[in-house]
């Protein structure tokens, strides 16, 4: 019956419907402050999201699925080859040993995504700093001799002494990202790998509201679109230089780009 009714509807009407449905989700508005955008958001059910992420990543860990992103299971791994190159570059600087602090790394999404390549290294220490609820679950279900979870950066640095910092799709969701970076970069990392971060094409900082498609989970929250020139200059002032920049595809006509960067400390 559904197919029959669909056949009666003119194609133009179907296309308008699809666009209307698709356009309900994505990024909206230009907010003056983070608080203003947050007040316009619905927020999210953190317990429900955490449980969905946990369920999906346990399937990956146990070999029942191959890849997870944002709690969604995929049939094949969607590799970021420049991201992997950054990890291998960092390991090469340390005789095949990789010691990572993955800030905001969920329950190990990037770790499991790239585990096939990490397994070829001489030694891997992957430490995740996350929200308390994620760390509690991480320690209970995912932690092992290579993958560790910490409640704060200071404890991670003290125990594991990571030399590579991973910031994968996290900075745009922090209310004061540069204040956070000020606190983290005092620990003098050799390599910084930034992945899937939004930048405004007009080179200015913009705050928008992101509405997540319900098939992922129901949520909306503020999101930064960074001024790329300011972003790079900030790291330059911290004695880091970009040795490679890479991008992800976005919809034609978008007001933003989705970029990753590999940075190296000037002293190494």
Residue 160, pLDDT score: 98
Tokens of 9: 């509807």
Which residues have C-beta within 8 Å of that of residue 198, sequence separation ≥ 6? Answer: 172, 223, 224, 225, 226, 256, 257, 258, 259
Residue 148, pLDDT score: 98
Pick the CATH number of 27-265 from 3.40.109.10, 3.60.21.10, 3.40.50.150, 3.90.600.10: 3.40.50.150
Neighbours of 24 (CB within 10 A): 10
Q: How is the chain split into domains, by residue range?
A: 27-265
The conformation of residue 236, written as its DSSP 8-state character, comes to H
| Alpha carbon distance 180, 198 (integer Å) | 17
Q: Strand, helix or coil at 47?
A: helix
Residue 4, pLDDT score: 40
In the chain, which ranges are continuous DSSP H helix? 2-8, 11-22, 34-40, 46-61, 81-92, 109-113, 115-118, 132-141, 153-160, 177-184, 228-237
* pTM score: 0.89
Are 194 and 29 a contacting pair, CB within 8 Å?
Answer: no
C-alpha pair distances (Å), 182 with each of 1, 235, 241, 263: 59, 10, 16, 16
Write out the chain's pLDDT in tens, 268 residues: 444 434 444 444 333 334 434 447 889 999 999 999 999 998 766 788 899 999 999 999 999 999 999 889 998 999 999 999 999 999 999 999 999 999 999 999 999 999 999 999 999 999 999 999 999 999 999 999 999 999 999 999 999 999 999 999 999 999 999 999 999 999 999 999 999 999 999 999 999 999 998 888 888 999 999 999 999 999 999 999 999 999 999 988 899 999 999 999 998 8
Residue 6, pLDDT score: 42
| Alpha carbon distance 162, 184 (integer Å) | 12
């Amino acid at each position: 019956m559904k197919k029959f009714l669909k056949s009666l509807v003119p194609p133009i009407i179907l296309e308008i419907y699809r666009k209307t449905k698709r356009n309900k989700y994505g990024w909206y508005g230009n907010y003056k402050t983070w608080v203003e955008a947050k007040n316009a958001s619905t927020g999210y059910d953190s317990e429900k999201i955490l449980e969905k992420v946990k369920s999906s990543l346990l399937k990956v860990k146990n070999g029942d699925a191959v890849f997870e992103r944002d709690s969604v299971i995929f049939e094949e791994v969607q590799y970021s080859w420049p991201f992997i190159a950054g990890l291998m570059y960092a390991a090469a600087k340390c005789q095949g040993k990789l010691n990572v602090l993955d800030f905001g790394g969920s329950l190990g999404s990037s770790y499991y995504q790239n585990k096939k390549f990490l397994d070829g290294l001489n030694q891997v220490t992957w430490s995740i700093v996350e929200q308390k609820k994620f760390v509690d679950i991480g320690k209970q279900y995912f932690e092992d001799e290579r993958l560790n979870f910490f409640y704060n950066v200071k404890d991670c640095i003290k125990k594991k002494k990571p030399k590579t910092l991973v910031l994968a799709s996290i900075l745009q969701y922090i209310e004061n990202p540069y204040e956070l970076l000020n606190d983290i970069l005092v620990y003098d990392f050799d390599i910084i790998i930034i992945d899937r971060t939004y930048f405004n094409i007009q080179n200015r900082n913009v705050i928008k509201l992101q509405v997540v498609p319900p098939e992922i989970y129901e949520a909306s929250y503020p999101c930064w679109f960074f001024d790329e020139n300011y972003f790079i200059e900030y790291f330059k002032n911290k004695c880091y230089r970009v040795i490679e920049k890479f991008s992800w595809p976005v919809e034609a006509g978008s007001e933003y780009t989705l970029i990753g960067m590999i940075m190296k400390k000037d002293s190494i």
